[in-house]
Amino acid sequence: MSRDRKDTSAADILSVKGLKKYFPIQKGFLRRVVGYTKAVDGVDFSIKKGETLGMVGESGSGKTTVGRCIVRVYEPTEGSIRFHANGKMIDLLELKGQERQGMRKKIQMLFQDPFSSLNPRMNIMDIITEPLVIHKIGNKEEQRERGKFLLDMVGLSADHMNMYPHQFSGGQRQRIGIARALSLNPELIICDEPVSALDVSIQAQVLNLLADLQKELNLSYLFIAHDLSVVEYISDRIVVIYLGRIMEIAYSDVLYTEPRHPYTEALLASISKYEAGSSRRYILEGYIPDPSNPPAGCVFHTRCRYVKEQCRHENPLLEAHQEGAFVACHRFLELSLSGYDAH
């Protein structure tokens, strides 16, 4: 079940344009650059205030690299990443020194594996308040008070504050990760597969917590996932990404019922419950191609069951086909694709 649509007139909090991230491939004793892995190859999207934008694609699609470029773990090769602050859009890639540091507080990252992202030698209070210490916010007493408040906010208690990460379950550890991400009062959180490592029953609890916190704090999320089963519940709109390029963007309710891109159809088929032996099932065959040597034309053509000659040499542009919806496929007007089948 997808969410009710949010106010579509809300202002953008993030606007990404022409984002590229190429990693050099080096060879030999002199580490000569012999090519580039095009992890992200010209991506445009925006996130509105209070919105969750899901970003979905298989492993190797470039979705995590997009998230890491936004928090500047990776320096983008090209493009702009603009963030709404002090009444205007500021290009994050042009910020340096203090300004860059200041902006870091507003965008936080939540990681997939809560265990490896928490320092095992620090107790929970120290983990949660470390960002306050790094940014020199408040005195020791104020930091502890903030730590207790955050523990309560994520459904843990002050009794937990002297315990260590290994003493918690996976779901509790992700709650600790969320508390830490919230410590600096961010406006945007990049959630990089935050529930993928958790049991299905625990996933729902963490997703509910994220949804509640969003309402309470008017947070915006970029929610990265490798399949469409998790993002449906939490996302307002979804971006489908393949080999570093956007294949489709749509509101969640539209994307699940009326996909316009064959790759979206394939991702939906992989989570649909078809009867055994049903011919309607569309299995996505093969693997995502090597991003250092992407196919010519439509990058999805080597796996697409609707491929025609034009697709092999002409790259389809991302075109608007209805309000808020975009697709990159030569055949989107003529194809009638299957949506999610829950039965």
Would you tell me which residues interact with ligand SF4 (CB under 6 A)? 262, 298, 300-301, 304, 306-307, 311, 316, 329-331
Residue 2 neighbours by CB under 8 Å, 6+ apart: 232, 233, 235, 251, 252, 253, 256
CB closer to ligand SF4, 207 vs 299:
299
Smallest distance from ligand SF4 to CB 57, Å: 14
Three-state DSSP at 125 gives: helix
Smallest distance from ligand SF4 to CB 339, Å: 16
Beta strands in the chain (DSSP E): 12-27, 32-48, 52-56, 78-85, 88-91, 107-110, 188-192, 220-225, 237-242, 245-251, 319-322, 325-327
Smallest distance from ligand SF4 to CB 173, Å: 39
CB closer to ligand SF4, 7 vs 334:
334
CB closer to ligand SF4, 131 vs 316:
316
CB closer to ligand SF4, 51 vs 265:
265
Smallest distance from ligand SF4 to CB 79, Å: 23
Residue 33 neighbours by CB under 8 Å, 6+ apart: 24, 25, 26
Count helices and strands in the chain by DSSP H and E runs:
11, 12
Smallest distance from ligand SF4 to CB 224, Å: 22
CB closer to ligand SF4, 223 vs 300:
300
Burial of 23 (0-12, 13-18, 19+ CB in 10 A): middle
User: What is the C-alpha to C-alpha distance for residues 272 and 62, in angstroms, rounded to an integer?
Assistant: 24
Smallest distance from ligand SF4 to CB 264, Å: 10
User: What is the C-alpha to C-alpha distance for residues 48 and 12, in angstroms, rounded to an integer?
Assistant: 4
CB closer to ligand SF4, 234 vs 311:
311
Smallest distance from ligand SF4 to CB 305, Å: 8
CB closer to ligand SF4, 43 vs 151:
43
Write out the two tokens for 4: 């009710």
Write out the two tokens for 311: 């697709």
Smallest distance from ligand SF4 to CB 332, Å: 7
CB closer to ligand SF4, 236 vs 248:
248
User: What is the C-alpha to C-alpha distance for residues 121 and 114, in angstroms, rounded to an integer?
Assistant: 14
User: What is the C-alpha to C-alpha distance for residues 311 and 54, in angstroms, rounded to an integer?
Assistant: 27
Nearest Cα to Cα of residue 246 among 15, 42, 69, 79: 42
